[in-house]
Structure 1
Amino acid sequence: MALRLVQVNFKARDDSALGRFWAEALGWGTSSEGPGVTNLEPVGFDWPDPTAVCIDLVTVPDPGTVRNRVHLDLATTSAAHQAELVDRLKDLGATPADVGQRDVPWTVLADPEGNVFCVLEPREVYRDTGPIAAVVVDCAEPRAMAGFWGEAMDWTVHETTDDHATMRSAEGVGPYLELIRAPAERSWWNRVHLDLLPFPVEDKEAEVARLRTMGATDLDLGQGDVPWTVLADPEGNEFCVLGRG
């Protein structure tokens, strides 16, 4: 039994419009599994595949005024590429964002609905990740969270310190999952969260039970009767275990 990180889920006021922004930003294709849902993945992608972590955007009525504890870091290959990408993203509707970053080599932006993300300066470690360099999760205790997520998934933990931890798929492809110390208190649910897929998918209930023994807790966000299970990690960050292949 195992779990893999397969997608990042964005709650949106307009899934279609926000989906168009991120599809253009990443150079990905779009599809829809139903009303109010936009799915993004690389063109020609055979889901699920560890070479990419896909994006689902789901329309909800919430105005989205809270600070997310999950964001994306985008990869670049040169200083010129970074500058070109930032300019292109601004043309698509992104705006500069100040999260207290001060003088840093990366650029912090917000998408058209206010979700913050970063355009990184070129880094060798991200040269083969694809357009998304990392999915970043803020947490109070990166070591403890790395222990939870490292045991929860089949991904390999590469580095762990008091301030950050990194992991990547066991195949060594696709983006990294990075846990960054940010002790600000959470006050509400995230508009961006992780979705995990059991393989085989028939092991979903057993995997959910295993996560509960590791410290995950059940979470009711009004999801009703759905094929996925909503849980919170030991720091209260929401995530879903999917029930579809």
Structure 2
Amino acid sequence: MPASEMNSVPASAAEQEVLLSLQSISKTYTTGDVKVPVLHHVDLEIYAREFLVIVGPSGSGKSTLLNIVGGIDTPTEGEVYFQEQNVSRFNEQQLTRYRRENIGFVFQFYNLVPTLTARENVIVAADISANPMSPDEALELVGLSDRAEHFPAQLSGGEQQRVAIARALVKQPELLLCDEPTGALDLTTGRKILGVLADLNRELGKTVVIITHNSAIGQMARRVVRIGSGTIAEARPNPHPISAEQVTW
């Protein structure tokens, strides 16, 4: 298969199963008497097994959007449905279960425990999961079997991010949410991380959502959403995605 066709092979329209739906989502933060609106009546569907990139500048609301999708934050208005469950009406216990069982988070900064090895960092996530895979399998999937006994300080930035991906993956989540996963990395290392995420989407059928300020990453996705000033400015298919190796910024 040509490299340009390797990422997120599209399903037919009939096969586009909606995994998560945002319906008229608004978010306003309140500090004292000051109200700061961040999202304004956002409608978005995320399909099962898709590779979606959400692009927007700093302050556009994309991180808030991701946090609402992941159950870290709650909307001021609107509804969030995950596999027909109304997440926006979950209590704290239900939200905790939702995050543990369905969502894998990958952030710009790796948030690894420095006193634990790579394997132990992954085990921490496995231990709180309902149906985890083997931590060694998760590390193998991100190409780090030979670094499992190393501590974060002994790993490069790219290797630490791959540990973070393995930690998210070990829970066997339905949805991987990646907030600027290449933001702290150079181009070559960033491409490797994007390649790992594309492989997990293609080979394991994981739904991957990346938010980024870097529009070049959108070239990898089958669908690109642009957000600006708290609203969806554009949502369009990308019929000719490129491989991670071809991404440049």
Asked if TM exceeds 0.5, the reply is no
Flag the structure with more relative contact order, 1 or 2, with Cα contacts below 8 A and sequence separation at least 6: 2
More strand per residue: 1 or 2?
A: 1
TM-score where L is the length of structure 1: 0.27
More helix per residue: 1 or 2?
A: 2
TM-score where L is the length of structure 2: 0.27
